[in-house]
Structure 1
Amino acid sequence: MNLPTEILRWRIVAAAGVLLLAGCSTGLQFRSEDSKGSTEPPPPTEMITEQLIAAEKQTNARQGDQDLSRLVVSHPPPYAIGRGDVLSIVVWDHPELAGGGMTAATAAADANGTNASAAANVPQPGFVVDHQGRIQFPFAGLLPVEGLTEEAARALLTQKLARYIANPNITLRVQSYRSKRVYIDGEVKQPGLQAINDIPMTLVEALNRAGGLLPTADQSRIALERGDERYRINLRDLVQRGINPGNIMLAPGDVVRVHSRDESKVFVSGEVVTPKALTMHNGRLTLNEALGETGGISPLSGDARQIYVVRKTPERTRVFQLDARLAGSLAMAESFELRPKDVVYVAASPLANWNRHLSLLFPGALTSAVGVTNRP
C-alpha cells in the first residue's frame, strides 16, 4: 500500500467530516456592524405561516387605505372662468361692439407660441381676462368675470348692457383655455401640460389626453401631488374597491406622475434555476410566482427548507422563511405577497455546501482520492 496516498485519503475524509458538520447548519447568517465596529444582533427569522400572511394582508390594507374622498367627484361643476382665459363675446345686431378686445387668433397664437398671422382669418373677437380677473367691454366697462361660469358671465354682461341696449342678445363662451393646467409626467406617450377646459379633467381624461399609458407603466403606482399633499393611486385596487377612476377629479396645478414597472422589481437569487430580477405585474407578485418565473428551486443544489424573503422596511430589516416541504406550503407561497425591492433567496443544501467547501480547500483532491480508491 502506498503510504502517502493513504494519508491523503484520510485527510480528505477528515476534512469532509468537518465540512459536513459545518454544512448541516441551516439559516442565513447575518452580521451587521455599526459605525463603531460593534456587531449588532441579526434580525429574527419569521416563518411564513397562515397567521403571518393574514397579518401582512391587514398591514397592506391599512397602508393602502388612503382617503381619496377629496378627489372623487361624481358630478363635477361647470368650468369657471379664470385669469388669462380668452372670451369670445358677440352682441347680435351690434357688430360695432366686437372690436374692443384682443382678437381670438392673436390670443391663441400667444398661448400656443405660433405665428399670429397664421390664424388672422378668425373673425370672432376675443377678450382676455386680465390679472385681476376682469375684462373690458364697451358700455359695460371693467367686468369681473373670474370664477363665473359662461352662463353667469353672460347674465352679468346682459345686465350691464341692458342700460344702453334694449333686450341685448349676447353669446359668450371661452375661446381659449389658458388659466388652469395640470402636469402629466412619467410613463405616458405625450407627457407635458394639459389645459383644463369645459370637459371635466378627471384622471382618466388626463391620461387619455397624454396619449395613454405606455406598456412599461405601473398602473398600481400613480402619484398625484396637490400642494403639500401626495396621493398614491392604484387603478387596479380602485376597481376592486368599487371606485370609478373616472370620478377622480384633478385640480389646477396638480402633478400626475405614472411610475415605471422597472422601479418595482423583485430580486431572486441563490439556488434557483435562473437567478434574475423580476418586474412586478402592476404592483403584484407572489412568492410562488417569483420562484416559478426563475425556473423553481434547483433540484441539484437547492434546499427547499430554506426559502428566504429579505425585506427592508423604514423601521428594520425583516427576514421571512418558508419550508416548502411542509403540507400547504405551496398555497402559502401563492398567498404571500412580495413588495418592491424584496430579495428572494434560496439557500444551498448541506450536501451542496459540503461539495463547494471541499472543492475550495482541496481543488481536485476529491477526484484524485476517488481515483486512487478505485484502483485495484
Structure 2
Amino acid sequence: MHFNTKDRASGYSASNSAGAAGEDTTDAVLKPITPQLVRTERELREKQVTQDISKLLGKSAPYTIDSGDVLSIVVWDHPELSNAATVATGGPVGVGADASTSATTAPPAGFIVDHEGMIQFPYAGPLKVAGLTQDQARNMLASKLSKYLKQPKVTLRVQSYRSKRVYVDGEVKNPGLQAMNDIPMTLVEALNRAGGVLPTGDQSQVVVNRSGVNYQINLPQLVQRGINPGSIMLTNGDVVRVRSRDESKVFVSGEVVSPRALPMYNGRLTLNEALGESGGINPLSGDGSQIYVVRKSGTDQVVYQLDGRSPGALAMAEGFELAPKDVVYVAATPLANWHRAISLILPGALSSAVGAAQPAR
C-alpha cells in the first residue's frame, strides 16, 4: 500500500511505499505539531458541540404508584380493614436486584396494584391509585372511608417497589436490574447501587438508552463544565451502559521500546503519555524527528508530525491530546533502514564483515 502525505502549508508531498506496486493509494494531509496547532486543537475540543442531554436533566419528584406495586394500608383503630397489609415480608424490599427478585418469587403481603392501576379496599371499593403519590392516595382513601367512619386515620405506604426499574450494564461491579423506589433514581444513584464503575470502565463513555435513543454521557466533562451528574434523572425502562476502556485505544508502533495498544484514561491520553508508557523512542533505531500521529477524520486521514529534537517538543507532546483509534508511529533512522535493507539482501553479510574486520586475538 502507498501512503502519501502532503503538507498544506508548503505543498510538499512525500510518498512512502509499504507494499507492492499497483495497490490503492491513500492520501493524507501532513500537519506539523506546533504550539499554535496545540492551542487550536484545544480550542476546538472546548467548542465541540456535544449531544444535547437536556431531556435527561430535571429535578427529583415524589414517587408515583403504578401497576405491580404492593401497598401497605393501615386504618387506625380498625385492624379488621387492614389485616393483609400488616403482614411482614421479612426484610427491606425494593432496593436493588435482590429485592426485586424476592418480590417476584415470594407472594407479597399487602394490596397489589393491578394492571389497570386499581386496588380493592373494604368500604372504599375499587380505587385508581396509579399515577398518585403516597400522600395523594392516602388522602383519597381517607375521603372514601369518611362516608362510613368518623375521621378515619389512614397510613398508606409502598411496601414493595415493583413497577419501575432501570438496567445497568457494562463495566460496573454489580450489573443488572435496579428497582426505582422513593429515592430519586439519578444516573449517579444507579451507578452507586451497581457498586460503582470498575477500573476497567470509561467514565467518559457512559451511554443512557431511552426509548431507543442513545445519549452519550461524559462524566468528567460534565463536572468540568459545572453540570452536576446527579441532575440526570432516569425513568422507567432506561438502560445504562458503562463502556470499557478497551473500546477507546491508541496504538503505538514503530521504533519504540515496547509497541502496544494503550487504553485511554476517561477519554484522555496525550502524545507524551503514549510515548512514555511505550518505553519511549528506541535509542538505537528511532528517529526523534519523525514522530507521527495518524488520525482518521471522516473519509480522509490526517497525519500530525512532531520533531522531537526541536525546543519545547516535550511541552507540545504533553499538550497534544490523542483521539480514540489514533496510531502513533515513530520512524526509523536512515542508518537503521540501511542496515535492515542490507540484512534482507545479504543475510549475515554485515556480521561477517564486522567479524573479518576485527583483529584476531
Deviation at 1:202, TM superposition (A): 1.1
Which residue, 138, 146, 150 being the options, matches 1:162? 146
**8 Å contact 2:73–2:85 — kept in the other structure?**
no
Q: Does 2:70 match 1:86?
A: yes
Q: Does 2:171 match 1:184?
A: no
In structure 2, distance between residues paired with 1:257 and 1:359: 51
Q: Does 2:28 match 1:65?
A: no
Distance 1:42 1:315, change over 3 A: closer
Which residue identity is paired with 2:179? A
Identity %: 61
Which residue, 120, 128, 151 being the options, matches 2:112? 128
Deviation at 1:277, TM superposition (A): 1.6
Aligned to 2:187: 203
In structure 2, distance between residues paired with 1:271 and 1:28: 19
The CA RMSD over aligned residues, in Å, is 2.8
Which residue, 51, 70, 73 being the options, matches 2:36? 51
Distance 1:369 1:101, change over 3 A: closer
Distance 1:373 1:196, change over 3 A: closer
**Residues 293-327 of structure 1 deviation map (CA, whole Å, 9 limit, x = unaligned):** 11211111111121111123443222221111222
**8 Å contact 1:102–1:128 — kept in the other structure?**
no
Q: Does 2:16 match 1:29?
A: yes
Distance 1:349 1:319, change over 3 A: same
Larger relative contact order, structure 1 or 2 (CA cutoff 8 Å, min sep 6): 1
TM-score, normalised via structure 1 length:
0.82
Q: What secondary structure does 1:112 align onto?
A: helix
Distance 1:110 1:296, change over 3 A: closer
Deviation at 1:31, TM superposition (A): 7.1
In structure 1, distance between residues paired with 2:135 and 2:191: 29
Q: Does 2:343 match 1:356?
A: no
Aligned to 2:24: 39
Q: What secondary structure does 1:42 align onto?
A: strand
In structure 1, distance between residues paired with 2:277 and 2:309: 20
Deviation at 1:147, TM superposition (A): 0.9
Deviation at 1:334, TM superposition (A): 0.7
Residue ranges of structure 2 left out of the alignment (5+ in a row)? 1-12, 94-98
Q: What secondary structure does 2:16 align onto?
A: coil
Aligned to 1:304: 288
Distance 1:274 1:164, change over 3 A: same
Aligned to 1:229: 213
Structure with the higher fraction of residues in strand conformation: 2
Which residue, 289, 298, 304 being the options, matches 1:320? 304
Q: What secondary structure does 2:27 align onto?
A: coil
Residue ranges of structure 1 left out of the alignment (5+ in a row)? 1-25, 120-124
Larger Rg belongs to: 1
